[in-house]
Amino acid sequence: MSNDTPAPDATTSEEPTTTFADLGVDPRVLAALDEVGYEKPSPIQAATIPVLLSGRDVVGLAQTGTGKTAAFAVPALSRLAELADVNGVSRDVQVLVLAPTRELALQVGEAFSSYATHLEDFHVLPVYGGSPYGPQLAGLRRGAQVVVGTPGRVIDHLTKGSLDLSNLQYVVLDEADEMLRMGFAEDVEQILSRTPADKQVALFSATMPPAIRKIAKQYLRDPQEIAVKGRTTTGTNTRQRYLQVMGSHKMEAMTRILEVGDYDGVIVFVRTKAATEEVADRLKARGYAAAAINGDIPQNMRERTVEALREGKVDILVATDVAARGLDVERISLVVNYDIPHDTESYVHRIGRTGRAGRSGEAILFMTPREKYLLRAIEKATRQPVEQMRMPSTEDVNRTRKERFAQQITDTIESEDLAAFRELVEQYQSEHDVDAVEVAAAIAVMAQDGRPFFVEELPEAPQRTRDRDRGARGEDRPRREPRSEKGMATYRLAVGHRHRVSPGSIVGALTNEGGLDGAQIGAIDIRSTHTLVGLPENLPAAAADRLAGTRINGELIRLELDRGPAGGGGGRPRGTSSYQDRPRRGGHDGGERGGFRKKAGPRGRDGEGGFRKPRHKKY
């Protein structure tokens, strides 16, 4: 038997005809599933949930994207809810999920949080390498019933004594074959050896190599093996392409694609609610008619936004999966997966927003190098190749801009009455003895309002240290502070968190009011009463004058060069990265404080670290 095929005695599930209620799911978890929009269980969920609810260990053989996160999270939460009813709410770690990558750990953590909406005093904490220990330690001290982590960082917390697994009820090994492929076999075994003997274990893997068999035999008790085959397909009318791009260059890549392509309506999919607003703000700052749609936006406003997209008043919709569920707008010709989904079902649903009813469409997937395994999972599940594309070059974009500029001149000459302006130009020529070409060029510069007409080459990617989430193999090695960027200086704005400013609003002010290009904006470090931002050292006087009188949320920003505590100034705000590289506040990657946070208001925060249950979660 091949190592990459399920065992012949595995139970193979069929398309379910049951509902989640039929599976014995706790009513509180059931209510959350209904709010998320789950209608019926997938094959892996229908086969696995009853077995795990019965207390048996499970080996699940399923590809990424078959819905296995809910398959293990739903029964785990149901059992915790029952234990809380009997013994009261416990702050001890009762569920431990091991995932191979930070991205998957965050995704699983977010799923647990969404399914636990109606559980009282419930917390989920992601722990992973490459992020500060402080917020994770604070979250563990506060108490979290579910910890989702990468093996190396989990071992670190066990070694430090900050993670106590003595009351652990439930262990999940997610993407077990991927963890072994990445060299985590010893780490996984070390963690399992330090867990209680009477715990329940669920192991999920796309394949069953000997190393996985060994772990299952040693640490699982009489497990039931459940195998499913993905049946995911995508529309043949949709051209699927992917672009390998750094996270810091995603926005530039998307705007270049939009400039050189001929698209009508566009949907941009991101993972988090906060990202919808941020990406939409940055698109609007670059002159696009964009709007955000997510679960925190009231239903009537979402409906008006979709109607604006349908009528052409909005061209780009930035959405989460849940908010765009069931969306059907004829003019959608492009779907951009700005954040790659960890679930292939989500990918299929996303790109299904275009290429409908016989119409053709395009789907473009942004992928960082570390996410390549997710691309392989998508291609395997959909049984269709996703072709690679290159980012449009500066020559491509500048050529398109020149062509459109020329076309705008032609259209204006043909359709507008130029008599009054012709007279003004002729009068100026006679009075100043200036050639008409010079006058036309000056008018074009005026129309740009200080914004550069041509794009420049993207800066080379900085050399970054590799993610050292490999257990003891150097994960704790300190990272170097980023150096000051050549030609950049640190400026101070007199607005901060107290004034409810966001990175998007700052970028919008700098580009719209100051006429700066996105490439000229460096680090953005928002503090309580002020903000530090990296801008060109030789900032044009005209741009500085315009920005000095600019307001954000009604407050003057009072742009000035930051001299620092010692009167030095210049360079990048200490400890920050470029704006494009910064973790998003409240976003899926945890930001500076780690974990997920619900919004307390339009720009609210909710403490530090971990997940908190929303008071009123709407979808």
User: DSSP readout, 221-289?
Assistant: SSPEEEE--------TTEEEEEEE--GGGHHHHHHHHHHHS--SEEEEE-SSHHHHHHHHHHHHHTT--
pLDDT at 485: 55
Q: Tell me which of 392, 411, 438 is where a domain ends.
A: 392
pLDDT at 4 over 70: no
Residues 586 and 597 sit within 8 Å (Cβ to Cβ): yes
Angle between helices 250-260 and 394-415 (to 10 degrees): 40
Residues 292 and 276 sit within 8 Å (Cβ to Cβ): yes
Helix, strand, coil shares, percent, the chain, to 5: 40, 15, 45
Query: pLDDT-based confidence at 63, cuts 50/70/90?
Result: low
How far is the CA of 523 from the CAs of 278, 544, 579, in angstroms?
16, 18, 5
Query: pLDDT-based confidence at 178, cuts 50/70/90?
Result: confident
pLDDT at 54: 92
**Start-to-end Cα distance in the chain:** 46
Q: Tell me which of 392, 416, 433 is where a domain ends.
A: 392
pLDDT average, residue stretch 302-322: 88
Query: pLDDT-based confidence at 202, cuts 50/70/90?
Result: very high
For residues 366 and 440, membership in a common domain is answered with no
For residues 383 and 399, membership in a common domain is answered with no
For residues 102 and 173, membership in a common domain is answered with yes
Residues 597 and 590 sit within 8 Å (Cβ to Cβ): no
Mean pLDDT in the chain? 78
Residue with tokens 């990202």: 275
For residues 412 and 378, membership in a common domain is answered with no
For residues 361 and 287, membership in a common domain is answered with yes
pLDDT average, residue stretch 371-400: 84
For residues 387 and 332, membership in a common domain is answered with yes
| Strands, E assignment, 247-406 | 265-269, 290-293, 316-319, 332-337, 361-367, 387-388
Residues 73 and 215 sit within 8 Å (Cβ to Cβ): no
96/172 Cα distance (integer angstroms): 6
For residues 75 and 158, membership in a common domain is answered with yes
Query: pLDDT-based confidence at 593, cuts 50/70/90?
Result: very low
How far is the CA of 21 from the CAs of 33, 41, 81, 413, in angstroms?
10, 10, 16, 66
**Is 199 within the bounds of a domain?**
yes
The count of residues in the chain is: 619
For residues 187 and 335, membership in a common domain is answered with no
Amino acid, single-letter form, for residue 76:
A
How far is the CA of 434 from the CAs of 70, 428, 440, 443, 537, in angstroms?
72, 8, 10, 13, 34
Joined tokens for residue 612: 């908190």
With a pLDDT cut of 90, the percent of the chain lying above it is 25
307/569 Cα distance (integer angstroms): 48
Amino acid, single-letter form, for residue 167:
N
Joined tokens for residue 321: 């999966």
Which H, E and C letters describe 144-192, residue by residue?
Answer: CCEEEECHHHHHHHHHHCCCCCCCCCEEEECCHHHHHHCCCHHHHHHHH
pLDDT at 577 over 60: no
For residues 54 and 164, membership in a common domain is answered with yes
pLDDT at 514 over 80: no
Region label for 372, one of left (φ > 0), alpha (ψ between -120 and 50) or beta (otherwise)? alpha
**Is 53 within the bounds of a domain?**
yes
**Is 607 within the bounds of a domain?**
no
Joined tokens for residue 247: 């996270």
pLDDT at 385 over 50: yes
Instruction: Give 328 or 260, the one with higher predicted confidence.
Output: 260
Joined tokens for residue 147: 């910890």
CATH at residue 19: 3.40.50.300
Query: pLDDT-based confidence at 457, cuts 50/70/90?
Result: low
**Is 5 within the bounds of a domain?**
no
pLDDT at 38: 78
Residues 243 and 253 sit within 8 Å (Cβ to Cβ): yes
**Is 558 within the bounds of a domain?**
yes
Helix (H) / strand (E) element for 352: namely none
- The domain of 507 spans 488-581
**Is 97 within the bounds of a domain?**
yes
Domain count, the chain: 4
**Is 405 within the bounds of a domain?**
yes
pLDDT at 404: 81
Q: Tell me which of 195, 227, 259 is where a domain ends.
A: 227
What pLDDT digit, counting tens, does each position of 408-439 carry? 888 888 888 888 888 898 889 888 888 888 88
pLDDT average, residue stretch 67-79: 90
pLDDT average, residue stretch 548-570: 71
For residues 401 and 384, membership in a common domain is answered with no
pLDDT at 72 over 90: yes
pLDDT at 596: 35
**Is 591 within the bounds of a domain?**
no
pLDDT average, residue stretch 342-346: 74
pTM (2 decimals)? 0.46
Angle between helices 273-285 and 250-260 (to 10 degrees): 50
For residues 385 and 279, membership in a common domain is answered with yes
For residues 441 and 301, membership in a common domain is answered with no
Nearest residue to 296 (alpha-carbon basis) of 602, 585, 574: 602
Residues 421 and 428 sit within 8 Å (Cβ to Cβ): no
CATH at residue 521: 3.30.70
